[in-house]
Amino acid sequence: MVFSSILFLFYFMPAAFLLYYLAPRPAKNATLLVLSLIFYAWGEIRYLPIMLASILVDYAASNMIERSGSHQGKRRFWLLVSVAFNLGMLGFFKYAGFFASNLNALTGLSIPVLSLTLPLGISFYTFQTMSYTIDVYRGQVKPEHNIIDFGAFVVLFPQLIAGPIVRYTDIRRELRDRRMNLDQISLGVRTFILGLASKVLIANNVGALWTETEQIGFAGLSTAQAWLAILAFSLQIYFDFSGYSLMAIGLGRMLGFEFPKNFDFPYISKSMTEFWRRWHMTLGSWFREYLYIPLGGNRRGAVRTVLNLFFVWAATGLWHGASWNFVIWGLLFFVLLMMEKGFFKSFLDHHPVWARIYMVPLIMMSWAIFAITDFSQMGVFFSRLIGGYAGSDWVYSLRNYGVTFALGILFSTPALKGTLERLERSRIASVLIYGFLTVVSVAYLVDATYNPFLYFRF
Give the separation between CA 444 and CA 286, rounded to whole angstroms: 35
Distance set, CA 137 to CA 53, 56, 82, 294 (Å): 20, 17, 11, 13
> Whose Cβ is closer to other proteins: residue 276's or residue 381's?
381
**CA torsion angle 231 236 241 242 (round to 10):** 80
CB of 194 to other proteins, least distance (A): 11
Report the amino acid identity of residue 358. Y
Q: Which of 326, 434, 448 is nearest to 8 (CA)?
A: 448
> Whose Cβ is closer to other proteins: residue 43's or residue 296's?
43
The residues binding other proteins (CB under 8 A) are: 5-7, 9-11, 13-15, 17, 42-46, 117, 182, 185-186, 189-190, 193, 205, 212, 215-217, 391-397, 399-404, 407, 427, 430-431, 434-435, 438-440, 442-449
Could you confirm whether 280 is annotated as catalytic?
A: no
Helix (H, G, I), strand (E, B) or coil at 119: coil
CB of 440 to other proteins, least distance (A): 5
> Whose Cβ is closer to other proteins: residue 335's or residue 406's?
406
Structural contact between residues 117 and 103, judged by C-beta atoms closer than 8 angstroms: no
> Whose Cβ is closer to other proteins: residue 44's or residue 349's?
44
Distance set, CA 304 to CA 146, 277, 312, 345 (Å): 41, 22, 12, 21
Give 3-state DSSP helix, strand, coil % of the chain, rounded to 5: 75, 0, 25
Give the separation between CA 12 and CA 17, rounded to whole angstroms: 8
Q: Which of 254, 120, 251, 138 is nearest to 185 (CA)?
A: 254
* Full DSSP string of 303-371: HHHHHHHHHHHHHHHHHT-SSHHHHHHHHHHHHHHHHIIIIIHHHHHH-HHHHHHHHHHHHHHHHHHHH
Structural contact between residues 231 and 260, judged by C-beta atoms closer than 8 angstroms: no
CB of 206 to other proteins, least distance (A): 10
CB of 155 to other proteins, least distance (A): 18
CB of 446 to other proteins, least distance (A): 4
> Whose Cβ is closer to other proteins: residue 129's or residue 404's?
404
CB of 434 to other proteins, least distance (A): 5
CB of 364 to other proteins, least distance (A): 21
Q: Which of 145, 280, 320, 351 is catalytic?
A: 320
Distance set, CA 185 to CA 31, 155, 267, 431 (Å): 18, 21, 29, 15
Distance set, CA 248 to CA 160, 165, 177, 430, 444 (Å): 9, 10, 20, 21, 20
Structural contact between residues 174 and 263, judged by C-beta atoms closer than 8 angstroms: no
Q: Which of 193, 81, 74 is nearest to 133 (CA)?
A: 81
> Whose Cβ is closer to other proteins: residue 46's or residue 76's?
46
Residues in the chain: 458
Residues 6+ apart with CB under 8 A from 324: 375
CB of 8 to other proteins, least distance (A): 10
> Whose Cβ is closer to other proteins: residue 190's or residue 345's?
190
Q: Which residues are catalytic?
A: 320
